[in-house]
Every structure is written in C-alpha cells, then in structure tokens.
C-alpha cells in the first residue's frame, strides 16, 4: 500500500493546484503535523435530520471529548477516538431535546456515551481523508465513515471539517421515520490541540 505521506508529498510537488490549496489553508507536511492531539471545545459537533416536505431538525452536542494521533509517514495507521454525551444534545426546542434524550432515541439515562473509534484512515487528497471506524450508540455498534478535510493549522492547533451520514436504524433510533429521515447528516468542525 502506498503510504499517505508519499501521496501527500507527490501531490504537493506535482500539482500547482494543491500548492495553492496549501498556501490558502496551510497544509502541513505530515512530518510537521505528526503528534498527538486533544479535541478542544472550539469544535462544533452539529447534525441535521431532514423531514418530509422540507426543513428538519438541526442540533448539536455540547459535551464531547476525544483525541487523535497523526503518525508521520503512516496516516493509514493514525487513530481517532471520540465520544460525546447525548444528554448534551441541543436543538433550540426543549421538547425536541427531551424527546431525543428519551428512550425513543438516545436513551441517555441508560447509555451515557456515544463513541467512535477509527480503524482505518485513507488519504483521499492533499487535504482530505476518509476515516472509517466503529460507532457505538445505545448498545449497538456499526461501521461508519466520515470525510475529513483540513481547514487550519498553525503549528499547535489543527482544524478539520468532518462530514458523514449515519442511518438511525442501525442504532434502534429510527423513531419517526418516514416523517423524519432515517439519515442523520453530520457537518462538524473538529479542532485538535497538540499535546
């Protein structure tokens, strides 16, 4: 398997486009960015669920934690661990929040955490990667993947946008379908502080 660093270096050298991207977002070399990071509270864990006829539910989680390491020359074996507390869900509607915390959806009294642990990271572009791992929620585990794009880097903190789609039915949370889509769309900002 070709290593992520090799791709990164090759693309940065060969592509004028990627150099402009690098200039715009400050893409570090993996050697520079390698290390362990703790996910900070500046991160924004947002989701939305579409509803029939337009609109939908938008929300975020206020309580979460996690870490990742970026291995120099070995992005494939880099690792992300993330967990959030479903109790901290917020949609701007207290009745919706209470319903989401109830046994109908998160059952946050019995399942305090939702966790994600990566098992594979593939670089898909100079500033992009595909992260696959296991999501565990409400006693159910399933493989999920997210598209990650590097957005900021200043030598100490690194920022990404993380997008993914998750089917509620895999976690016994598909109440309200088909009025509310089975698909939960995540469009998150994750910031890591170098340890």
Partner 1 sequence: MRRYADAFERYNFLTITLHWLIALLILGLIVLGFIMTRSSIDPALQFSLFQWHKSFGMLVLLLSLIRLAHSFFYVRAKPVGGMSVAEHLAARAMHHLLLLLAVIVPFAGWMIASVSTLEIPTFAFDLFVIPHLPVEKSDAAEAWWTTAHAVLAYFVLALVALHAGAALYHHYARRDAVLIRMLGIRRYR
User: Site residues (CB under 8 A) for partner 1?
Assistant: 51-53, 55, 93, 95-96, 99, 102-104, 175-176, 178-179
- CB closer to partner 1, 122 vs 174: 174
Helix ranges restricted to H, 15-145: 16-25, 30-33, 94-101
Query: What is the nearest approach in angstroms of partner 1 to the Cβ of residue 86?
Result: 14
167 three-class SS: strand
- Asked if residues 57 and 99 have their Cβ atoms less than 8 Å apart, the reply is no
Query: What is the nearest approach in angstroms of partner 1 to the Cβ of residue 55?
Result: 7
Query: What is the nearest approach in angstroms of partner 1 to the Cβ of residue 162?
Result: 28
Query: What is the nearest approach in angstroms of partner 1 to the Cβ of residue 49?
Result: 12
- CB closer to partner 1, 16 vs 55: 55
- CB closer to partner 1, 103 vs 169: 103
Greatest Cα pair distance in the chain:
54
Query: What is the nearest approach in angstroms of partner 1 to the Cβ of residue 53?
Result: 4
Q: 163 phi and psi, to 5 degrees?
A: -125, 145
Residues β-bridged to residue 65: 83
- CB closer to partner 1, 57 vs 150: 57
- CB closer to partner 1, 71 vs 138: 138
State the DSSP string of 64-113.
EEEEEEE-TT-GGG-EEEEEE-GGGEE-S-HHHHHHHHSTTTT-TTT---
């Amino acid at each position: 398997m070709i290593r992520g660093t090799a791709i990164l270096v090759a693309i940065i050298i060969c592509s004028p486009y990627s150099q402009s991207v690098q200039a715009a977002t400050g893409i570090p070399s993996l050697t520079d960015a390698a290390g362990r990071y703790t996910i900070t509270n500046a991160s924004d864990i947002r989701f939305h669920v579409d509803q029939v006829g337009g609109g939908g539910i938008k929300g975020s989680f206020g309580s979460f934690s996690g870490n990742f390491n970026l291995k120099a020359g070995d992005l494939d074996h880099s690792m992300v661990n993330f967990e959030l507390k479903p109790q901290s869900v917020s949609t701007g509607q207290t009745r919706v929040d209470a319903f989401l915390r109830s046994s109908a959806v998160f059952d946050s009294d019995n399942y305090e955490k939702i966790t994600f642990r990566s098992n594979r990271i593939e670089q898909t572009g100079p500033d992009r990667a595909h992260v696959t791992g296991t999501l565990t929620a409400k006693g159910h585990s399933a493989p999920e993947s997210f598209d990650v794009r590097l957005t900021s880097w200043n030598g100490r903190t690194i920022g990404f946008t993380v997008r993914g789609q998750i089917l509620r039915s895999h976690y016994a949370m598909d109440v309200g379908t088909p009025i509310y889509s089975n698909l939960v769309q995540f469009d998150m900002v994750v910031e890591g502080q170098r340890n």
